[in-house]
Amino acid sequence: MALDSASQNQRRSDAPEVVVARLPQYVRILTRLLQEGAEVVSSQQLGEKLQVTPAQIRKDLSYFGRFGKQGRGYSVIHLLERLKLILGLNSFWNVAVVGVGRLGRAILSYPGFTPDGFHIVAAFDSNPDVVGETIAGLTVSSLEELDEVVSSKKISIAIVAVPTEHTQGVVDRLVACGVRAVLNYAPISPQVREGVRVRNIDPVLSLQSMTYYLTDHPVD
């Protein structure tokens, strides 16, 4: 008794969502450390880079197993590998972008998704003038092809950048096609059935949560 399967198993169920949300940051720092040639890193050093306490890092990791060595720290390459596995980043996810407007184009030409585990393999727009256009090597498809392409390309993640009023409808269609995670840029929070994940990116809310702390008056 005592030493059971915890260390070789991911224990997916019982890690709090806040903890899971911090893991990608650990992955990012570790990736950088690996590139810089670091072989080991302590929770202390990691904490300094991330501005969190070393205890929090150790506690977070302990939800998933035991990855460190006392007196030494963590093997950068090994911990990175394990975290990617836990997050499902050991191979690539195919992603669709829906809405090829100003923002959608910036997203399509952003090179930062690929090194971090995401391949943008399809783009959709409802505007016939946009359909057929090629951006960053990808030809924009029409919405009619959505179901077919999502299935054939095994797309389970979508980035949605369409006008607010079309967002819920687009998300509904995507979910019906089998998409299980949505990154939404419109200033609403689309409703989805249980089991589908949504993250919203909303610069206005971010700005408004800062002005509270700007004690002097805004310009008038």
Where does this chain bind ligand NAD (CB under 6 A)? 98-104, 106-107, 110, 112, 124-127, 130, 143, 161-164, 166, 170, 185-187, 203
Phi, psi of 45 (to 5 degrees): -65, -45
Specify the residue, 33 or 131, whose C-beta has the smaller distance to DNA.
Answer: 33
User: Which option in its own copies, DNA, ligand NAD, none does residue 149 bind, with CB closer than 5 to 8 A by kind?
Assistant: none
Q: Can residue 208 be called a binding residue for its own copies (CB under 8 A)?
A: yes
Task: Give the one residue of 17, 165, 194, 216 binding DNA; rule: CB under 7 A.
Answer: 17
Query: Distances from the Cα of 129 to the Cαs of 100, 133, 140, in angstroms?
Result: 11, 8, 10
Report 58-117 residues binding DNA (CB under 7 A).
58-59, 61-62, 66-74
Q: How far apart are CA 171 and CA 161, in angstroms?
A: 11
- Contact call for residue 54 and DNA (CB under 7 A): yes
CA distance 10 to 63: 8
Q: Does 138 bind its own copies (CB under 8 A)?
A: no
Report CA dihedral (106, 109, 113, 115) to the nearest 10 degrees: -150
Q: Tokens for 123?
A: 């783009």
Ranges of H-type helices in the chain: 17-35, 43-50, 54-62, 76-87, 102-108, 146-152, 164-177, 203-211
Q: Does 212 bind its own copies (CB under 8 A)?
A: yes
Amino acid letter, 141: S
Q: Which is nearer to its own copies, 35 or 206 (CB)?
A: 206
Query: Which residue number, 34 or 177, has a Cβ lying nearer to DNA?
Result: 34
12 binds DNA (CB under 7 A): no
Among 5, 8, 51, 70, binds its own copies (CB under 8 A): 51
Min CB(120)–its own copies separation in Å: 11
